[in-house]
Copies of this chain bind each other. A is one copy, B any other.
Amino acid sequence: MVARRRAEMVEETRAKLIRAARTAFAAKGYAAASMDDLTAEAGLTRGALYHNFGDKKGLLQAVIDQIDAEMLARMRAARGQADTAWDGFLNEGVAYIEMSLEPEIQRIMLLDGPAVLGDPSQWPNQTACLRTTTQAIQRLIDDGTVKPVDAEAAARLINGAALNAALWIAAADDPHAVLTKAVEAFRQLAAGLLRTAG
């Protein structure tokens, strides 16, 4: 075994624990996931877990931070692929809905996370995500595309609509059929913010 720096090994154990926790939380839910089991899955014990993350909630927080960062990156990519600012804004919402189709995101980010850690809009990365959406709306207001509403309020409502759409889709018998209906309704609803009638 090559002698590596200690910091590297710490990062590796943290990564292993987070990965095991992601799959365990997604599969069984936060409450039903045993820390003995998931640490064993990672080839470690609970000692490593408490040393690195403090407690079970700390581990969940780390998992959520990681997923949230991934979601933020994917939303930015979706926005970048649009021609106009308004389409980019819509793409963000649609990307959010599509990501929420994934059971892992559903279970961890939309169900257990809020229940254990409280209102998601207070989470560090979520605020970053929300801030970019708010800024996008503000720009659309400034250039006359969108009516002069409170940008943050609009961003939160749009987010909520997308989130609920995602939950609906995931619980549906035919998710992809419902997805198209939800996306269509989402575009109509968002058009309410437009200065010109949709």
Secondary structure of the A contact surface, majority rule: helix
A6-14, A16-24, A70-78, A153-161 - interface stretch: A153-161
Instruction: Determine whether the beta carbon of B150 is less than 8 Å from that of A184.
Output: yes
User: Taking the complex as formed, is A147 at the interface, i.e. its CB lies under 8 A from any CB of chain B?
Assistant: yes
Instruction: Determine whether the beta carbon of A111 is less than 8 Å from that of B115.
Output: yes
Contacts of A111 in B (CB 8 A): 114-115, 118
User: Taking the complex as formed, is A176 at the interface, i.e. its CB lies under 8 A from any CB of chain B?
Assistant: no
Instruction: Determine whether the beta carbon of A193 is less than 8 Å from that of B182.
Output: no
Docked Cα-Cα span, A31 to B32, in Å, equals: 11
Q: Which of B118, B163, B181, B193 contacts A150 (CB 8 A)?
A: B181
Docked Cα-Cα span, A162 to B164, in Å, equals: 10
Contacts of A194 in B (CB 8 A): 192
Q: Which of B118, B152, B192 contacts A190 (CB 8 A)?
A: B192
Instruction: Determine whether the beta carbon of A181 is less than 8 Å from that of B164.
Output: no
A35-43, A45-53, A166-174 - interface stretch: A166-174
Chain B CB count within 10 A is highest, among A178, A184, A185, for A185
User: Taking the complex as formed, is A188 at the interface, i.e. its CB lies under 8 A from any CB of chain B?
Assistant: yes
Instruction: Determine whether the beta carbon of B167 is less than 8 Å from that of A119.
Output: yes
Q: Which positions 98-112 of chain A face chain B at CB distance < 8 Å?
A: 110-112
Instruction: Determine whether the beta carbon of A156 is less than 8 Å from that of B184.
Output: no
Contacts of A196 in B (CB 8 A): 197
A: residues with CB less than 8 A from B are: 29-31, 110-112, 114-116, 118-122, 147, 149-150, 152-154, 156-165, 167-168, 170-171, 178, 181-182, 184-186, 188-194, 196-198
